[in-house]
Amino acid sequence: MSQLTYLMREICAGIEIFYSGKTGGQFWKTAFILCDNYTELASKLFLTTNDSKWSDTRDKEAKKFEKAQKDVGAALKAGTPPKQEDLERLAKGAGKDNFKNYHDVLKDVHDVFDAKRKAELPFLDSLHVNMKARRDLRNDFFHSAKLLNLSIAQRDCVEAFCDLLDYGKLLFPPTWDTALSGERTLDTLEILLHLDRKCYSNPSIIAKVSEVLKSCPRYRLSSKRSIPKNGVQVAEYPEDLHLMLSIIDGGQELRDKLAALLP
């Protein structure tokens, strides 16, 4: 399987996590952080696909660090004082942790589009603006203990995942749709996300989606005779559970009904 197939598996899991807690919001922050991670993975996969020699390390900084090590070592052997700049570079560890950060990676993607796909550059840049802002927020969640009791809005997750899917389609135009449709229920989840985004500007869509989902059985098992007579169904927010089961059972028929609601 291609690396893109494995990426789709991760993205599908992240969206399922979001919809598993859509009503209660207990997984919104988790889904948001995962989505941010997927944008970085998609960017790096695109860059390695475009150029097999691309690396996510800062080679120039690493070479400067190695040179400083050699120069300081040579100076000590010769009994002469090392250069102050070399000592400072070694003290700070500059070049030692030489992986490119998120903004560096997005710049590399930008440069590829600037060189090869300039007509699509404005759309790419608009996605990057949103992605960079989300990375800053994600880092705040990770690094600031003051934000532990805070979450994000449902809309933030929806917008983030919609941008991720648009971003992937932009990066991998020949193969993205095929890989997406081959991963479990991801094609249906994609439509649901776009419908949710559409609801923010056109609330009437909510009723139309509800009408489609109303026809879906509330149990995963297709035959009433096969529903167990014993046992319990534990769910803090049952509607989220039934939605996920409906997505699994609905298949192509449900997908087509939901897709008809998109423009």
Q: Residue 99 in 3-state DSSP?
A: strand
Residues in the chain: 263
Provide mean pLDDT across the span 188-216: 93
Q: Residue 59's pLDDT is what?
A: 67
How buried is residue 8: exposed, middle or buried, by Cβ count under 10 Å (0-12/13-18/19+)? buried
Q: Residue 234's pLDDT is what?
A: 63
Where residue 236 falls among pLDDT bands split at 50, 70, 90?
low
**Angstrom distance (rounded) from CA 43 to CA 30:** 20
pLDDT more than 70, % of the chain: 89
DSSP state of 146: G
Residue 95 pLDDT more than 70? no
What's the distance, CA 258 to chain centroid?
23
Is the distance from CB of 36 to CB of 105 less than 8 angstroms?
no
Is the distance from CB of 78 to CB of 45 less than 8 angstroms?
no
Q: What is the CA radius of gyration of the chain?
A: 24
Q: Residue 232's pLDDT is what?
A: 61
Q: Which residues lie across from 181 on neighbouring strands?
A: none
Give φ, ψ of 57 to 5 degrees.
-110, 150
Provide mean pLDDT across the span 217-238: 61
pLDDT digits (tens, 9 = 90+) for 128-178: 999 999 999 998 887 777 777 778 899 999 999 999 999 999 999 989 999
pLDDT digits (tens, 9 = 90+) for 114-137: 999 999 999 999 999 999 999 999
Where residue 69 falls among pLDDT bands split at 50, 70, 90?
confident
